[in-house]
Amino acid sequence: MSETIRWSCAEQGGTALKRYTVRSSQEDIPHRRRKIRKRRFENISAKSMRAVDTNVLVRLLVRDDLDQVKTAESFIAPGAWVSHLVLAEALWVLDAVYDRTAEQIASAVDRLLNHKELTIQDAEVVTGALTHFKKRPALGFSDCLVLEIARKAGHIPLGTFDRNLSKLDGAKRLE
């Protein structure tokens, strides 16, 4: 005997409705679990992409410690993934610690987007944020990124008390 279960978290911005068939026989459960696990991970190889932390990305951008730069370059050589959070943190470090200008920060983002070993999470979102940031550097890159992430997720308008951010399409100033 089997039962169809309907599941959706589209209301919270997740994936659309999916249907699963669950067998009620206890004999089938262990065998079914093994198959699901195997299918779930069959596309992941031992050479799957790595991810980098903020300090690795900062070393690659600033290049102020040659030993760490060499180690970081070796780590990313087979390919590495950069999350939005790591990107935002690294850019904050460039601004707050290394006193980089908005133009230098925009240049760093552009270099990362075009880096042959790095894959930036949702590169099209980051590109959209970079476009806003280049036009209005006073906003800060992270505000531009938050707006573009919200846009991609379909959660517009982005409510903000920030007068400058609210001037961008997709943002709404709260008063």
Distance between CA atoms of residues 38 and 8, nearest Å: 23
Distance between CA atoms of residues 151 and 90, nearest Å: 23
Would you state the pLDDT for residue 48?
82
* Burial of 147 per CB tally in 10 Å (0-12, 13-18, 19+): buried
Distance between CA atoms of residues 20 and 6, nearest Å: 7
**pLDDT > 90: percent of the chain:** 73
Tell whether the model's pLDDT for residue 23 goes beyond 90: no
**Span 105-127, mean pLDDT?**
98
Instruction: Kindly report which listed range (3-7, 78-82, 98-102, 115-119) carries the lowest average pLDDT score.
Output: 3-7
**pLDDT > 70: percent of the chain:** 73
Q: Helices 102-113 & 141-153, crossing angle to 10 degrees? A: 40
Complete domains list, the chain, with CATH: 2-41 (no CATH), 50-173 (3.40.50)
The phi and psi torsions of 22 (rounded to 5 degrees) equal: -115, 130
Per residue in 143-169, pLDDT (tens digit) is 999 999 999 999 999 999 999 999 999
Would you state the pLDDT for residue 34?
38
Would you state the pLDDT for residue 47?
54
**Cβ neighbours, 10 Å, residue 61:** 23
